[in-house]
Amino acid sequence: MSKSSLIIIRTLLSRLSNGEFCSGQILADELGVSRTAVANYINQLQQLGLDIYSVRGRGYCFAAAITLLDAAQINIAQGAKRPQVLVHEITDSTNSQLQQRIKAGLITELGATIVAEAQTAGRGRRGRNWYSPFGTNLYFSMYWRLAHGMQAAMGLSLVVGLAIVRTLRQHYGVDAKLKWPNDVYINEQKVAGILVELSGQVDADCDAIIGIGLNIHMPSTATDNIDQPFTTLSQHTTESINRNQLIINLQTELIAILTEFSQSGFSCFVSEFNKVNQYQDQAIKVISTTEKVGICRGVDKQGALLLETTHAIEPIYGGEISVRGHQ
């Protein structure tokens, strides 16, 4: 998308963000384009997941008022000497954009973050698509470095999950839980996912890109694009959700917990994780290269899942948990 198109879309979004109707002719005059062009831009936003009403004689209106991400607002609210937050309107993937900037030497500061209003190629673990509608959720990627190589990443996705749980509990009063190894749940439904991507040497400095997708609101079309049970933060809190402030709170919590993790490893987080473990002491199935059934006994000091089978308690270092038919 061209720079001029992005400017027009940003202006259009700002004009409609109050949730009130505005005629196509007024929008065309303000933007300096034709009414047909306005309709095309509206269609692009609808394709990105925005709920926009179009009513003859009244014009266009968002289904609900939205607060757009604002880099200036975020960086002012952060205060001095805080890692940079870059805001993209529409991008392929915040993880990909952060990775490109790291490779180009444009980002070197730990905690530097990229967020976006929408992703066109958002992804989760194992290459799965991550549905990323515009202006409704949080698409967040942060840079960190592990001084002792990739082996120091054991448990990394788990402490990232703990940072999300702490943020949701402290600021929104939500009883969030963690599903090993990379999902956040509320009331047994997924509200957030984590994708950690590493680059570097096994025994040398390792760059970590920490990607987080957090459902805040979802458009009415979401169920057509997501193939598993999900929920949103807004369904479980009476607190106002300002995404700009949420970004600051999450970045702050992540920096604090990752600083401790870099110094001490995962062992000091075992007890905290097990207290918020979605399936603690429940019957589960772990799916990896093989399938194993047993009782979830939490995690060990390396972040491995402890599965109690009929033979022993076995550490599991990779895979996914399923509880269907095993509860």
Known catalytic membership, residue 243: no
- Residue 105 is assigned to a ligand binding site: no
Any binding-site annotation on 119? Answer: yes
| Residue 125 is labelled as binding a ligand | yes
Dihedral pair phi/psi, residue 74, rounded to 5°: -65, -50
On whether 187 is known to bind a ligand per the annotation, the reply is: no
Instruction: Exactly one of 3, 56, 126, 324 is catalytic; name it.
Output: 324
Non-local (6+) Cβ contacts of 93 within 8 A are 119, 121, 122, 123, 211
Q: Which residue type sits at 75?
A: N
Q: List, in order, residues 6 or more apart from 5 with CB less than 8 Å away.
A: 41
Determine whether the annotation assigns residue 58 to a binding site: no
125 is catalytic: yes
Q: According to the annotation, is 93 in a ligand binding site?
A: yes
Of 125, 285, 292, 297, which is the active-site residue? 125
Please say if 101 is a catalytic residue: no
Instruction: Pick the closest to residue 281 from 311, 303, 313 (CA basis).
Output: 313
H/E stretch holding 49: none
Residue 124 annotated as part of some ligand binding site: yes
Rg, C-alpha atoms of the chain: 21
Q: Check whether 123 is labelled as a binding-site residue.
A: yes
Name the active-site residue from 166, 177, 190, 243.
190
The dihedral region occupied by 325, where left means phi > 0, alpha psi between -120 and 50, and beta the remainder, is: left
Q: Which residues are catalytic?
A: 125, 190, 324
- Mark the binding-site residues for biotin, compressed into ranges: 93-95, 119, 123-125, 190
- Mark the binding-site residues, compressed into ranges: 93-95, 119, 123-125, 190
